[in-house]
Structure 1
Amino acid sequence: MAQDIRDLFKDDKVAFETMPENHQDRFLKKLDEVLPVEPKKHHFNWLGIAASVILFLGLGFGVYSYFQPNIENSSVVVSTQAIKTKTLGDVSPGLKKVEDYYLASINLELSKMKYTPETKDVFDGYLLQLRELDEEYKRLSLELTESGPTELTINALIDNLKFRLNLLYRLRSQLKEFNTSETHVDEVELMS
């Protein structure tokens, strides 16, 4: 038969025994025998170190970025949005054919060129001129975009392409002459 514990305490039927004085000490001693506590060793916690390094690097980068001069507030503002420049092909399909013809011819001539250490000076001179013509072409394309197509701008773009192609033809003929004169020099040296 189940009894309510509250009734037992009220009736004072249960005698309360007190625990011996050294009961807790004996319990802890037995507990230490079963589960010995090892002294804590100081291990390097690599994960904690790595997290600290990452935290310091992140804070350093944040501080560095915060104290950099703000580009938007400077007097020179560089637009991150590239301006889509118009080409001859954007003006008319006929001009696109002309532009494609010249660009393909220029690329073909460039691919035929053989660069050697002996012809380095000749190549560098022509490539410098080609680079200047290319910059001029970009400037003219920008003018075409901003001002719209005019006969003067279109003719200047076509002339620029012609100049580049003619420049490559001259480079090719100069390289042929160089190779021919070098071959003659080699033949003369062999005969001597």
Structure 2
Amino acid sequence: MEVDPIEKLFGELKGSFDTAEPTDGHRLRFLAKLEASATGKTKLKRNRVIWKPLTVAATLLLLCTIGYNYLYTSPSVQQQVSKISPEITNTEFYFASVIEDQIKKMQNESTPETQKLIADTMIQLRNLDSDYKKMERDLLDGGNSKLILSAMITNFQTRIDLLNEVLEQIEEIKNLKKYKNENITA
């Protein structure tokens, strides 16, 4: 017959069990410790109960702030101008592409003789661009829209005229250089 493992364990441990009575006041000390640990836990639970709604509220506030900033960003100056005058957007796109093409032509013609002229032209173009941005702000601030729109178009035309003049001067410089080289070699 096989011996039950639990019976075997108790048989091996026989005589080593602590069967002595606890000392006086053991029950009171145990209850006091139990009560002390229970009040500590309730304090922790109270702290957790207080912090939980605060963390939820802070998280919601953070998410609402991020959402508001994401959804309600103010439109750019160009978007606001296009709302006032949709035609200016098409005009600006056309003039900007023409100006960009002429700037590329001008920079492709760059030589040591024309570098100063090109640098001065770029400075003037930056000044005209900053004037254009001021006109956009004036238009948004409620200025005379027809007058400002006319000035904006004139600004673009001035830039194109400036670039045409510079390209002509560059051609003259190239022709003059060619003419001098022909006279020297002849």
TM-score by length of 1: 0.54
Q: Could you say which residue in structure 2 is the equivalent of 1:98?
A: 91
Q: What is the percent sequence identity of the aligned residues?
A: 25
Deviation at 1:129, TM superposition (A): 1.1
The CA distance in 1 between the partners of 2:85 and 2:122, in whole Å, is 30
Q: Is the 8 A contact 1:106 1:165 kept in 2?
A: yes
Deviation at 1:182, TM superposition (A): 0.5
Instruction: Please list the CA deviations of residues 59-95 of structure 1 after superposition, one character each: whole Å capped at 9, or x if unmatched.
Output: xxxxxxxxxxxxxxxxxxxxxx887213764433433
Partner of residue 136 from structure 1, selected from 131, 140, 143: 131
**Alignment root-mean-square deviation, CA:** 2.6
Q: How many residues align?
A: 118
Deviation at 1:130, TM superposition (A): 0.9
Q: Could you say which residue in structure 2 is the equivalent of 1:111?
A: 104
Instruction: Please list the CA deviations of residues 127-147 of structure 1 after superposition, one character each: whole Å capped at 9, or x if unmatched.
Output: 111111011011111111222
The 3-state SS of whatever aligns with 1:5 is coil
Amino acid at match of 1:182: K
Q: Is the 8 A contact 1:89 1:97 kept in 2?
A: no
List, as ranges, runs of 4+ consecutive aligned residues in structure 1 with deviation greater than 6 Å.
none
The CA distance in 1 between the partners of 2:91 and 2:75, in whole Å, is 24
1:82/1:96 CA distance change after superposition, 3 Å: closer
Q: Does 1:155 align with 2:150?
A: yes
The CA distance in 2 between the partners of 1:181 and 1:96, in whole Å, is 41
- Considering fraction of residues, name the structure with more helix: 2
Counterparts of 1:43-122 in structure 2, within 5 Å, are 84-86=76-78, 89-113=82-106, 114-122=109-117
Q: Does 1:5 align with 2:15?
A: yes
Instruction: Please list the CA deviations of residues 32-77 of structure 1 after superposition, one character each: whole Å capped at 9, or x if unmatched.
Output: xxxxxxxxxxxxxxxxxxxxxxxxxxxxxxxxxxxxxxxxxxxxxx
Amino acid at match of 2:159: R
Amino acid at match of 1:5: G
Q: Does 1:174 align with 2:142?
A: no
Q: Is the 8 A contact 1:85 1:141 kept in 2?
A: yes
TM-score by length of 2: 0.56
Question: Which structure has more RCO (C-alpha within 8 Å, separation ≥ 6)?
Answer: 2
Amino acid at match of 1:97: N
The 3-state SS of whatever aligns with 1:117 is coil
Q: Does 1:190 align with 2:182?
A: no
Deviation at 1:161, TM superposition (A): 0.5
